[in-house]
Structure 1
């Protein structure tokens, strides 16, 4: 049966009514995130410090009791209807034009174990895909919050974050850590989230660059990444191998870095360990700086993190390196790649009165290299996932 086209103007609730012939039971929103510092530490049981963006994914949803989940999007032509009681989505071999639907269907299949059932969903997003701002986790969390409310699932936000992570790990086949889902569900406006990825414990850390005369720019390098590819999984496997050789549960437990580096013979594993251990220290140091109101000094942490991600963890890419170098030459205090790597975005901390100069310099650097022009995104610490209506 041919479905009516999804209107791309008007409210999401209005588009839902036009597409499905009935109003939604509610609309939910989950934000994307920027990780200030703490990259590739989450799946090593370490520390991270993300904050929520104002941009994200919204889901209009209506409960259904026939055991099916029907998913449509304003950004994709394909519609997907699948049983909630089904195998891992990754095993079903969905074609590329349907792959985006694996995230909400996967969440529904995990939440089914906790009493959730079917739903009809219409999705809208203003996050650029492939920019390293966690559009997939925002989609998972908006879906999870909607299904929880529609079916009365008893799960607090920390538990819901772990369930959304499970969906990405088991259903989509992406071995991500807990950070992205926790950031989308737990962050509050004007704060970054200090998260211990082992215990799940978190605390809110004040983060207000504007009050300190600073601007945090998010630069979408337009070099898209797909983390379900092999490189991300390889980095995780290398970390697990190093932890096993060192006799620790996770690299978070390495206390004597020099001793660990002396124990490991493989230079690749030594580089991976050096990054994870020092990055955890940088997260803790950054929390201290932010709590002390020393935001300008945070720039040095960004620079050190980027160099480590580039040289020790080897996940940076040419556009990211050029963005950081150009920003520093134009007067920024610091910058680094964010996300899993191999494409995506960069954050740059700059005095507010130099922000325009920094943006112009980065744009010019891309033009000189004949790269696709970068995009600059709003980076104000914003509210976590919530119900809109």
Structure 2
């Protein structure tokens, strides 16, 4: 099953019923899709050829461990990014270049954008310039702009399917709308990049029939391309968000593994389990805060992996950016390209958690920041020269820090990876016991188990990984006091949303209690409240709807 999901083609549908599984299920969405198609005609004077959909996601458990190559457990949500798109046969007067784009957004704060890619001459391209890429688009990573995500998606399509420079991409009209709140931790940015990547693939005829010698991308390949694309806006994403948006199944959560290669398998959730997303209303902006947050954590976990590997006597290449998952494999004698399996992985993780003291500084045991090391100490602990260290760990990313919390970051990664495996196993065990006679008692036990894992995850995110914030801490505490079995931040953190496990019959009461107890919610009613706190079911992954013109 794992291989089957990643090898599947991106679905290209012709009706909304195909997208949502039935005519009845599609009816609540029809007005929004119809309005988008009608607005496209008003703005561009012709009908849209495709509408592309990419959902946001909620990560049930497994935060900040995907880029260490450990498995995670997200699910696609019903909220999404939609892009209506079509080719433009006669480019605007000021956009004569091949592949020019007119991008508009239904949200009034996002202004109309016009841009075109530049095809470089082969002699202009060297290893030092964009790794030999023929096409270039200006993306301002210093200032977060909505069209940067559109450009990021386009970049990958250009350099994957038009790299020889012989064929020219189509000029494109785009109209974007989204129901995933930006900066909420529900992965609006990944959904935007996935949707724009699919839009440019669709308009250029790269999803159906006979395409160029690169062939049609399957779901796994699209995940890899979307990951690379999102890095162009300045975020070193680990792949969970893209995989969840692309490969999710409407009936279950998705266990996504990244080692030895990306794979995914469905994990059925216990009957009666509902996950409620609550927005802290603190905007979590991965790109703008990456130097002190997301990107810094990537570097800290990578350096921790090298130091731990050295202490265990493992063979690491001089310029190898070994991950913590790869260290686990080397320590366990795992053969290259093989996966030891979840049971053995759990045991090895528990063993290695006891060997992390090597990541603490030796000369400041009594200081408040005793687990933080300076840049100079970190370089020395790595066993690398300053120049090699900079090349391997700092030359490709911008970070800001005076001390690096290697021990705490590694402790979070290992313990969180174990919690994911325990969560997965509990869900699978519950599915096999679903026919048991004492259903209510059994459900209560499994909910308590899963809730405790979520609570433990939140504590680790807050204390060891420091990716929570006061508002998220408040929300998760209120959630457990309002009847949730467990609650944790979801997404990169530093703001955004929490996810709470609630019994199906108590969702309405839970949301009302949260409204009354979280101050920013108290004056919200109706749609305004639904925007910030809502229950969600696992949704379908990204797709394309081809419209009859």
Give the TM-score normalised by the residue count of structure 1.
Answer: 0.90
Question: Helix, strand or coil for the counterpart of 1:22?
Answer: coil
Change (3 A) 1:31 1:363: same
The alpha-carbon deviation at position 338 of structure 1 amounts to 0.5
Residues 104-126 of structure 1, C-alpha deviations (whole Å, 9 max, x = no match): 11111111122262422110101
Where does structure 2 lack aligned partners over 5 or more consecutive residues?
1-31, 90-97, 119-134, 163-168, 207-215, 310-315, 317-321, 329-347, 362-370, 372-404, 431-442
Higher-strand-fraction structure: 1
Map residues 292-307 of structure 1 onto 2, 5 A cutoff: 292-293=429-430, 295-296=446-447, 297-307=449-459
Pick one of 323, 335, 351 that aligns with 1:250.
323
Which residue number corresponds to residue 202 of structure 2? 149
1:336 matched to 2:488 = yes
Q: Which residue in 2 is equivalent to 1:4?
A: none
For 1:100 and 1:276, locate their aligned partners in 2 and report how far apart those are by CA, in whole Å: 31
Query: Out of 256, 270, 274, which is 2:411 matched to?
Result: 274
Q: CA deviation at 1:145?
A: 1.9
Offset of residue 359 of structure 1 = 2.1
Give 2:268's match in structure 1, choosing from 202, 206, 219.
206
2:136 pairs with 1:87: yes
Distance 1:94 1:368 in 2: 30
Q: Does 2:103 align with 1:71? A: yes
Question: In the superposition, relative to structure 1, how do residues 285 and 95 fare at CA in structure 2: closer, same or farther (>3 Å)?
Answer: closer
Q: Does 2:435 match 1:283?
A: no
Task: Indicate the residue corresponding to 1:44 in structure 2.
Answer: 68
Contact 1:84 1:105 in 2 (8 A): no
The structure with the largest alpha-carbon Rg is 2
For residues 161-200 of structure 1, the aligned pairs below 5 Å read: 161-169=223-231, 171-198=232-259, 199-200=261-262
Query: For the residues of structure 2 that align with 1:49 and 1:258, how far apart are their CA atoms?
Result: 21
Q: CA deviation at 1:375?
A: 1.8
**Partner in structure 2 of residue 219 of structure 1:** 278
> Partner residue of 1:237?
299
Partner Cα separation in structure 2 for residue 261 and residue 152 of structure 1:
51
CA deviation profile, 1:308-365 (whole Å, cap 9, x unmatched): 1011101111121111112212222111000101000001112233333322332233
- 1:56 is matched with 80
Aligned pair partner of 2:537 in 349, 372, 380: 380
**Equivalent residues in 2 for 1:5-44 (5 A)?**
11-44=35-68
Shift of 1:382: 0.9
Which deviates further from its counterpart, 116-125 or 158-167?
A: 116-125
Note the alpha carbon deviations across 1:241-268, whole angstroms, 9 max, x for none.
1112122721123444245312112412
How far 1:379 sits from its partner (Å)?
Answer: 1.1
* Number of residue-to-residue matches in the alignment: 375
Instruction: Using the TM superposition, give the Cα deviation of residue 80 of structure 1 relative to its aligned residue in structure 2, in angstroms.
Output: 1.4
| Cα distance change on mapping 1:40 and 1:89 into 2, 3 Å | farther
The 3-state SS of whatever aligns with 2:450 is helix
Cα contact 2:353–2:415 (8 A) shared by 1: no
Describe the shift of the 1:311–1:93 C-alpha distance in structure 2 as closer, same or farther (beyond 3 A).
closer
Check whether the contact 1:69–1:108 (CA below 8 A) recurs between aligned residues: no
Deviation at 1:11, TM superposition (A): 1.8
Distance 1:368 1:52, change over 3 A: closer
What SS is found at the alignment partner of 1:52? strand
SS at match of 2:357: helix
Counterparts in 2 of 1:71 and 1:189: CA distance versus 1, 3 Å: same
Distance 1:29 1:328, change over 3 A: same
In 1, distance between residues paired with 2:521 and 2:218?
Answer: 48
1:322–1:365 CA contact under 8 A, matched in 2: no
Cross-structure match for 1:112:
158
Aligned with 1:264 (options 359, 375, 400) = 359
Distance in 1, matches of 2:306 and 2:116, equals 39
Question: Structure 1 residues 156 and 351 mapped into 2: Cα distance closer, same or farther (>3 Å)?
Answer: same
Q: Distance in 2 between matches of 1:369 and 1:30?
A: 28
CA distance in 1, matches of 2:427, 2:86: 42
> Matched residues in 2 for 1:353 and 1:183: separation?
27
2:471 paired residue number: 319
Rounded to whole Å, the distance in 1 between the matches of 2:141 and 2:536 is 36
Distance 1:89 1:280, change over 3 A: farther
